[in-house]
Amino acid sequence: MVPLGFSYRQQIVQQAPKGFEWTVLPAPAGDGGLAQGVSPQTLSIAEDSPYKKEAVRFIDFMLEPQNMVRLAKGDWMLPTGTRALADPALHTEKDGWATGAALARELRSAPAQSVRGYPEWKDKVATPALQEYYSGAIDESELRRRLVKDGNHVLARYQR
């Protein structure tokens, strides 16, 4: 078993070998300390943008609940809006949506996301290694080796 966050579902569905068995498990019961989610995306407008009013209208459009749901489904991530999160489209069993939606109110940023170097590890080590694993190019032991050994090299640079 390779435990991954909720946001890896898309990668698994689209890249795992045919017949790869997976599921989304609910968080363990307890104090909620393990209820960790992904970092929400932020929207901003550049100070020097000549189109500030148009940008604000676009952000307002994106934050309408029905559009948050469309974006969430496209990105395979849970929306941050409570009205959007209540949408029935996010409460289906297919691809683990119902399990994730049930956990959404309790999710917090994972402590690992605040570790210096985590974004580089995720982008340069974890994602490519998982893609190779899903394609069958490497086995589970090589995946583990890369995630740990190569990951430690990346993280060591940030500890200095």
pLDDT digits (tens, 9 = 90+) for 98-145: 988 888 877 777 677 778 888 889 889 998 999 999 889 999 999 999
| Cα–Cα dist 29/34, whole Å | 9
Range of the domain at 86: 40-107
Give the chain's domain count.
Answer: 2
Chosen domain end from 67, 90, 107? 107
Strand-pairing partners, residue 36, are 108
The pLDDT assigned to 10 comes to 87
pLDDT at 5 over 80: no
Same domain for 47 and 73, yes or no, is yes
In terms of Cα–Cα distance, which of 50, 48, 71 is closest to 59?
A: 71
Same domain for 140 and 158, yes or no, is yes
Same domain for 139 and 86, yes or no, is no
Same domain for 94 and 125, yes or no, is no
| Cα–Cα dist 21/13, whole Å | 10
The pLDDT assigned to 39 comes to 56
DSSP 3-state assignment of 16?
Answer: coil
DSSP 3-state assignment of 98?
Answer: helix
The pLDDT assigned to 30 comes to 58
Chosen domain end from 65, 90, 107? 107
Residue 44 CB contacts under 8 Å (≥ 6 apart), including other chains: none
pLDDT at 2 over 90: no
Same domain for 62 and 121, yes or no, is no
Same domain for 45 and 102, yes or no, is yes
Same domain for 101 and 44, yes or no, is yes
- One-letter amino acid at 160 equals R
End-to-end Cα, the chain, rounded Å: 33
